[in-house]
């Protein structure tokens, strides 16, 4: 939907979230509406129209294929109740700084850290839209090491926990930042840098870089290349460290975010997922409605193939695994709760 409306198509507040999605069936209906706003369309043959079966699945009127709303999405075969998923998605989307797996686990009383960690990684996995637009206008491009605190060496290999990352940021006149993109790079060679620029910046844009030789030749790829050298900056009395202020601002923001929200516990294998989350958030930082961000996340989620825990495991374990909780509940408790009957009124100690 191009222009979803607050209070109609997405909840405006956590109160509205709770009122709308009281039980898993409410969540399932919302996902169905998001996935098939004009009614069921067969994911197998593309035929529009079918029947709802007794078990809630759909049968295609064209090919007879049977499927569920969540089949083929990140919610496929999840054992986590959808009410828990929705609240986790809200926390993930509504906080400007995002949320850590540990915080989600605590807030939603999820028995295992691994479950909370997997939910967040599934949500992260949907944040890159295939075919999304490239950056335009004036764009600063530079590389930096992310995942460690020491300054990296140009052209060197990522050592230990650091990953060589290329960052592109649109700059606005007279000042201010537009959208950004970032991605890990195998090295700082011309081949890698040229590939990054063509993937993330629209031809015709002005690309500002420093004088590193790896950027040479991007003018031949259809860009206006504005090369800034430290020596020239010094000669003009400018601070050579501020050649590319937009990229450096974004680089320091993601580094601070990784150390703050995630306590530096992100491992190298999953850094690209965290970069995607950072970029998604950064590019929506001016969105006035956090509910709208929640809507966009779920919209992408139902449009996306399933991601399972084993697919997320590149290194066997999530970064920093806290000790196992005392009771190893396998399945997170649903947020569908019976009325609590005002326990503060029935506490024997205070009523006496």
**Binding flag, residue 44, Zn ion (CB under 5 A):** yes
CB 111 within 8 A of CB 327: yes
CB 163 within 8 A of CB 184: yes
Smallest gap from Cβ 43 to Zn ion, in A, equals: 8
Q: Which span sits near Zn ion by CB under 5 A: 29-37, 57-65, 82-90, 180-188?
A: 57-65
Provide CB contacts within 8 A for 56, sequence distance 6+. 28, 68, 69
Among 42, 88, 110, 307, binds Zn ion (CB under 5 A): 42
CB 280 within 8 A of CB 180: no
46 or 325: whose CB is closer to Zn ion? 46
60 or 335: whose CB is closer to Zn ion? 60
Interface with Zn ion in residues 59-88 (CB under 5 A)? 60, 62-63, 65
Instruction: List, as own/partner pairs, every contact residues 57-61 make where C-beta atoms lie below 8 angstroms and the sequence separation is at least 24, other chains included.
Output: none
44 or 226: whose CB is closer to Zn ion? 44
62 or 319: whose CB is closer to Zn ion? 62
Element (H, E) at 171: strand 163-171
**Binding flag, residue 47, Zn ion (CB under 5 A):** yes
Size of the site for Zn ion (CB under 5 A): 8
Site string for Zn ion, 185-214 (x = CB under 5 A): ------------------------------
For residues 86, 88, 89, 90, the Cα torsion angle rounded to the nearest 10 degrees is 90
Among 1, 45, 221, 232, binds Zn ion (CB under 5 A): 45
- H helices then E strands: how many in the chain? 13, 8
66 or 134: whose CB is closer to Zn ion? 66
Smallest gap from Cβ 301 to Zn ion, in A, equals: 22
**Binding flag, residue 225, Zn ion (CB under 5 A):** no
Provide CB contacts within 8 A for 260, sequence distance 6+. 97
62 or 148: whose CB is closer to Zn ion? 62
CA dist 199 and 134 (Å) reads 7
Site residues, Zn ion (CB under 5 A): 42, 44-45, 47, 60, 62-63, 65
């Amino acid at each position: 939907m191009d222009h979803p409306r607050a209070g109609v198509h997405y909840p405006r507040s956590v109160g509205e979230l709770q009122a709308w999605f009281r039980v898993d069936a409410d969540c399932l209906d919302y996902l169905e509406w998001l996935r098939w706003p004009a009614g069921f369309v067969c994911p197998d043959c593309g035929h529009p129209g079918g029947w709802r079966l007794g078990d809630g699945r759909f049968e295609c009127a064209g090919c007879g294929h049977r499927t569920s709303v969540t089949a083929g999405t990140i919610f496929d075969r999840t054992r986590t109740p959808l009410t828990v998923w929705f609240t986790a998605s809200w926390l993930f989307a509504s906080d400007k700084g995002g949320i850590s797996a540990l915080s989600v686990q605590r807030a939603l009383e999820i028995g295992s850290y691994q479950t909370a960690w997997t939910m967040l990684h599934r949500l992260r996995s949907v944040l890159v839209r295939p075919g999304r637009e490239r950056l335009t206008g004036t764009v600063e491009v530079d590389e930096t090491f992310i995942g460690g605190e020491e300054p990296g060496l140009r052209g060197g290999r990522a050592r230990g926990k650091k990953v060589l990352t290329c960052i592109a940021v649109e700059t606005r006149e007279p000042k201010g930042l537009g959208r950004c993109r970032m991605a890990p790079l195998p090295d700082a060679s011309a081949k890698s840098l040229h590939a990054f620029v063509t993937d993330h910046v629209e031809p015709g844009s002005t690309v500002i870089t420093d004088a590193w030789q790896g950027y040479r030749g991007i003018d031949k790829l259809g860009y206006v290349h504005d090369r800034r050298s430290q020596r020239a900056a010094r000669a003009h009395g400018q601070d050579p460290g501020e050649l590319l202020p937009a990229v450096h601002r974004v680089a320091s923001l993601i580094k601070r975010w990784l150390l703050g929200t995630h306590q530096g516990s992100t491992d190298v294998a999953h850094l690209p997922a965290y970069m995607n989350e950072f970029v998604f958030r950064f590019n929506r930082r001016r969105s006035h409605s956090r509910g709208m961000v929640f809507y966009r996340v779920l919209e992408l989620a139902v449009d996306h193939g399933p991601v399972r825990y084993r697919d997320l495991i590149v290194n066997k374990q999530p970064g920093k695994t806290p000790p196992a909780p005392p009771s190893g509940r396998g399945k997170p408790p649903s947020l569908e709760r019976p009325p609590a009957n005002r326990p503060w009124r029935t506490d024997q100690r205070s009523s006496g």
